[in-house]
Amino acid sequence: MAISALDRAASKGVVHRNNAARRKARLMKRLNTSAQAPAPAAPAPTRAAKGTAKSPAKTTRSKTASKR
């Protein structure tokens, strides 16, 4: 079902076709490894939501500041 949705999104231009292919490959990789490995005892820790507190070290300079 997910592969069909990704193919549909790529054909309509919602996502780039390479992005859809990469997502499908990652999905299949996770599916194949989960079928071989036993189920984990505890759920995996959740990732922080995108766009949460950024550290100052990861911020980028503006284009005008870097052209000096």
Given a cut of 80, whether residue 34 has pLDDT beyond it is: yes
Residue 24 covered by a domain: yes
Residue 54 covered by a domain: no
- Per-residue pLDDT of 40-66, as tens digits, reads 667 767 776 666 655 556 556 666 665
- Looking at residue 29, what is its pLDDT? 94
**Counting Cβ atoms within 10 Å, is residue 66 exposed (0-12), middle (13-18) or buried (19+)?**
exposed
Residue 58 covered by a domain: no
pLDDT higher for 6 or 51?
Answer: 6
Mean confidence (pLDDT) of the chain: 79
Residue 57 covered by a domain: no
**Domain count within the chain:** 1
Q: Which domain holds residue 29?
A: 1-38
The phi-psi region of residue 17 (left if phi > 0; otherwise alpha if psi is between -120 and 50; otherwise beta) is: alpha
Residue 32 covered by a domain: yes
